[in-house]
Amino acid sequence: HQRILLASRPKAEASTANFELVEAPLDEHLDEGQVLVKHHFLSLDPYMRGRMSDAKSYAAPQPLGEVMVGGTAGEVLASRDRRFAAGDLVVGMGGWQTHAKVSASTLRKVDTSRVPLSAYLGAVGMPGVTAWYGLTQIIAPKPGATVVVSAASGAVGSVVGQLAKARGCRAVGIAGGPEKCGYVRDELGFDACVDYKEHRDLQSLSRAIAEACPDGVDGLFENVGGMVMDAVMVRTSPFARVAVCGMIAGYDGQPIPMAFPQLILTNRLRVEGFIVSEHPEHWPAALKELGELVATGKLKYRETIAKGLSSAPEAFLGMLKGKNFGKQLVDLR
Ligand code: NDP
């Protein structure tokens, strides 16, 4: 039984020294209501960087010396709850470890006949629901509207643009590098994708966004913050809506001031932040739609899969720098 603990809190940028891998024999004793799960996949997500710090945040900091928090998909080895039996495939929050003993109430059984197990951590899991919620409940675009999404090739962004297209919108992505932008346009079917790395300053990036959005920006799904966000904000149409989902540009200690708060007034923007876990009532409908779209091949996604638990810290730190291409997972089989 391998586990990765949070060993120390990062001072500025996180490093592999903040993590510790420990190994011990698997304790198979279960109390009533507990389930033992062998993990097949661990999900690596940007929010984990926030949990490593003890700065004030919407989520409590992850305690030192304990297993890193994380979403997992795996197989039930043994169960003392009547809802689960050995062999069931489940998703839960088992953390950065090869096995977990968890309360049955934290697990959800999944059907892998039409949707692969790993997708339940991505397009048909928390990132997919995040995309669904921000797009349909906050931006709520009308057909014909232009929706821009940053980190467009990623787990959340890729779903945002495809759902926007399915609702008759013009979908414009922002991503780092020609390969990611090509994928967003050609494989995911966005109308355009701007490579922010081609632009050194705000003016130049903002011009590229204007070219990709000839009718202005009606909805912005923001995943990044900083210059990338500012460059879209200046192109917003009156009464545009901004769903503030994440600000990954600032997660690893970098300051991300917002350049144009006055635009909220001048363009009469509606700007709303959200945390997907606070809207459990929407999850069933979102997962149903996302599951059906993936099962029928209408929603595409891509994964970057690191091999073995010991590769998790490096894969996680790489994701914060954009080294992932699509949903970042760790294969623990
Ligand atoms: P991704 O799969 O999109 O991976 C992160 C991507 O962010 C990288 O691949 C990189 O893409 C981009 N990125 C990293 N640093 C920068 C930077 N400095 N400037 C621009 N882009 C950068 O991750 P997710 O889809 O899982 O998450 C996307 C966002 O959604 C995150 O901000 C996350 O915190 C947020 N989120 C919010 C939730 C909520 O409830 N509010 C729930 C889930 C996610 P590139 O190479 O293109 O730069």
151 lines ligand 1 (CB under 6 A): yes
Going from the Cα of 256 to the center of ligand 1, the distance in angstroms, rounded, reads 14
Which protein residue's CA is at the shortest distance from atom 33 of ligand 1? 246
Quickly state the pLDDT bin for 95 (edges 50, 70, 90). Answer: very high
pTM over 0.90: yes
Cα separation, 93 vs 155, in Å, equals 18
Average pLDDT of the chain to the nearest whole number: 97
| Per-residue confidence band for 35, with pLDDT thresholds at 50, 70 and 90 | very high
User: Please, which residues have CB within 8 angstroms of residue 73's CB and are 6 or more apart in sequence?
Assistant: 39, 40, 41, 43, 89, 90, 91, 110, 117, 118, 120, 121
pLDDT at position 172, please?
A: 98
**AA identity, residue 122:** G
- The CATH topology of domain 126-277 is Rossmann fold (3.40.50)
Give me the interface pTM, i.e. the ipTM: 0.98
Q: Could you tell me which residues come within 8 angstroms of residue 263 by beta carbon, excluding any fewer than 6 positions away?
A: 233, 234, 236, 269
Supply the pLDDT for residue 308.
98
Out of 223, 302, 317, 329, give the residue to mutate to test ligand 1, the one with the largest number of ligand atoms within 8 Å of its CB: 223
Q: What is the pLDDT of residue 34?
A: 98
Distance between Cα 176 and ligand 1 center (Å): 11
Q: What letter represents residue 274's amino acid?
A: F
For the chain, the domains span 2-122+301-331, 126-277
The pLDDT assigned to 257 comes to: 84
% the chain with pLDDT above 90: 95
Alpha-carbon distances, residue 297 vs 61, 161, 320 (angstroms): 38, 15, 29
Q: For domain 2-122+301-331, which CATH number applies: 1.20.1260.10, 3.90.180.10, 3.60.15.10, 3.30.360.10?
A: 3.90.180.10
Q: How far apart are CA 215 and CA 193, in angstroms?
A: 15
Does the pLDDT at position 58 exceed 90? Answer: no
Residue type at 232 in one-letter notation: V
Q: How far is CA 269 from CA 242, 272, 290, in A?
A: 7, 10, 29
Mean pLDDT value across residues 93-118: 98
Q: Do domains 2-122+301-331 and 126-277 have the same CATH topology?
A: no
Q: How many residues are recorded in the chain? A: 333
- Asked if pLDDT for residue 57 goes beyond 80, the answer is no
Range 231-247 average pLDDT: 98
Between 12 and 100, the higher pLDDT residue:
100
DSSP 266-301: HTT-EEEE--GGG-GGGHHHHHHHHHHHHHTT-S--
The stretch 209-226 carries a mean pLDDT of 98
Among residues 208, 185, 133, 193, the alpha carbon closest in space to that of 163 is found at 133
Assess whether pLDDT exceeds 80 at residue 45. yes
